[in-house]
Chains A and B, each alone.
Chain A
């Protein structure tokens, strides 16, 4: 039988094996990481119509979150403040600032400001802010250090797996209800026990069934 392939073709099986292993690893990394919300969604930071700084208002001025997002304890939807809320102060503060021109225009023309939504959950997943805030889930746990954000960015993936991690082990994430809006809250050393006690006392039963969010 004639020799068809040169001797170095003996490397072919080894190369095939190596390439398949490499291909598998690449595929796992591509799909598990690069296609996951952790990569695609976290860090989303769109440009807003007004250069609103959470870092200044919540951080330096130390305003409570609920001054602007005032329905967060009662409604499913945590509202973006209306222009009225901005004008409570800015009808007297920095009235000439060019950065605030769109706010003044909105106020004068009675046209809402077109804020860009950062934390965007699909409509088939219903989320209630009130039920989480009232159970002791801090703003920081899901939204990150908003008080240090010049421009708001998404800090958590908001994927279903991420939600379920907390729903399955809430004691790792809960905090006392009066610390919900505290930024930079440090859990005490025995926080798991405290939280387990809180879960028992308040009867917190985070749902992990379909109908909780997807109806």
Chain B
């Protein structure tokens, strides 16, 4: 077998950077990628999808029921009390916004850093962002006592001659999260236009052709289209990057701007952003591990991709751990008894259990990713990614509730217990999230085909020798991972070299 791995001499004698470990395994051609991705949106809806959709949408209905119940009866149906006026709704809001941050990080920041491995995961990650932000927006909308007056937070000229208070970080939240949602949506859509055009060109049905034709905005893939498209994408990536960093900073200001010991900390903005990326990447790993298996995308979303995400989880997890230790140090160093007590209360008070869950899940478990064997193991990363999200939920819980329930005046100390409505609302947001995610999997090109194709060696002009011949046999050397189902009929099935699970774990190049 011709071993075309790292930094081999290229056909023209130069050291081709793209000869590094291939981002796409199995020597898929341009056509293979199109077939592989389109297959899932074009075939008949599988029964398993309907089953999953039924479960997810019942969760969404549960969410609606809980919100209706809460609006009708008042916010008192939640467990919030006087010292702890921010309970699960805010915890969940920060949790979901945090989840959403990985998507834009993958699509914008990694784009600016020219990380081509983002190409096969960015579509799903951005979808995750948008759905997570939708789930997040529910909480600031409904945790107010009077949801029908919430339009007062918008600066609209009105007959009251009244404007919102621009000093409040809760108002900044309105702007931050809504512009984050809009920019993410536009970014996602712009990235999707060439792929929608591919779908359009393959469409058979009358309506499918026209709907896709409408959505792909007359994309022909002309040179001029591509030049403008790339510029627009770069600009959007440049705009989305400060958004990612600022949106969660703004969310952290909700806490950091207050005077509460345990909240009033200057470390919050970067620490929250790191936590957001940490939890967001964990969610991406959770989702993609399942998706790549069910949708036979192992050749596009390879173990190398997952490993890179795990490295980011490790890095951001360590930043978060560093922040935990810094907070503790600063509490001691401040010499302020309230601050010191707030942190002693976290570690040894009535919510110590939550604190130690957070510490274990966020500080300890990601450190397992130092071991290459563990960060390339699907079961390990799946378990760990779920642990990370449990830990990150508890981080927000610990910050919000332990700081509130015991603050300056001992006479206003309390204890917060969530009610069933709190729990079911949170469960319901998962229902909504997966409802939207399943719709995405069904109807939208789940991998950015056009972008993945640019990561193929064939799209490099140096791939061909001077006489126009292909430099070498297409990378048959890289083991082809046999899809678990479906699409291989498109490939003719003959050239593939089936790969066992062991190979998958050792195919690092």
Q: Which residues of A contact B (CB under 8 A)?
A: 1, 4-5, 31-32, 36-38, 157, 159-162, 164-165
Contacts and interface: CB of A to CB of B under 8 A. Distances in A.
A157 B210 contact: no
A38 B200 contact: no
Given A1-B220, A4-B200, A159 B160 contact: yes
Contact of A162 (B156, B159, B220): B159
A163 to B, nearest CB: 9
B362 to A, nearest CB: 43
Contact of A5 (B157, B159, B210): B210
Contacts of B162: 160
A183 to B, nearest CB: 27
Interface string B198-225: 0011000000011001000000100000
A157 B158 CA distance: 13
A1 B198 CA distance: 11
A4 B213 contact: yes
B441 to A, nearest CB: 26
5 contacts: A5-B213, A157-B159, A159-B160, A160-B160, A160-B162
A1 B201 contact: yes
A35 B220 CA distance: 46
A11 to B, nearest CB: 13
Question: Which 10 interchain pairs have the tightest Cβ spacing?
Answer: A161-B161, A160-B160, A159-B159, A4-B213, A161-B159, A36-B159, A164-B161, A161-B160, A4-B209, A37-B159
Nearest to A160: B160
Contacts of A162: 159
B479 to A, nearest CB: 36
Given A4-B209, A4-B210, A5-B213, A160 B161 contact: yes
Contacts of B158: 161
Contacts of B220: 1
B213 A38 contact: no
Contacts of A38: 159
A164 to B, nearest CB: 5
A25 B160 CA distance: 21
A15 to B, nearest CB: 13
A136 to B, nearest CB: 23
Contacts of A161: 158-161
A26 to B, nearest CB: 16
Interface string B176-210: 00000000000000000000000011000000011
A32 to B, nearest CB: 8
Contacts of B161: 160-161, 164-165
A164 B209 CA distance: 57
Nearest to B160: A160
Nearest to A165: B161
A164 B160 CA distance: 8
Nearest to A168: B161
A38 B213 CA distance: 46
Nearest to B213: A4
A5 B216 CA distance: 12
Contacts of A165: 161
Nearest to A157: B159
Contacts of A31: 156
A165 B200 CA distance: 57
Contacts of A160: 159-162
Given A157-B159, A160-B162, A161-B159, 18 more contacts: A1-B220, A4-B200, A4-B213, A5-B210, A31-B156, A32-B157, A36-B159, A37-B159, A38-B159, A159-B159, A159-B160, A160-B159, A160-B160, A160-B161, A161-B158, A161-B161, A164-B161, A165-B161
A157 B161 CA distance: 13
A4 B213 CA distance: 7
A206 to B, nearest CB: 14
A37 B160 CA distance: 10
A31 B157 CA distance: 10
Contacts of B210: 4-5
A137 B156 CA distance: 30
A165 B160 CA distance: 10
A4 B162 CA distance: 51
Contacts of A36: 159
Nearest to A210: B162
A161 B210 CA distance: 49
A30 B448 CA distance: 42
Q: Identify which of A4, A36, A165 gathers the most chain B CB atoms within 10 Å of its CB.
A: A4
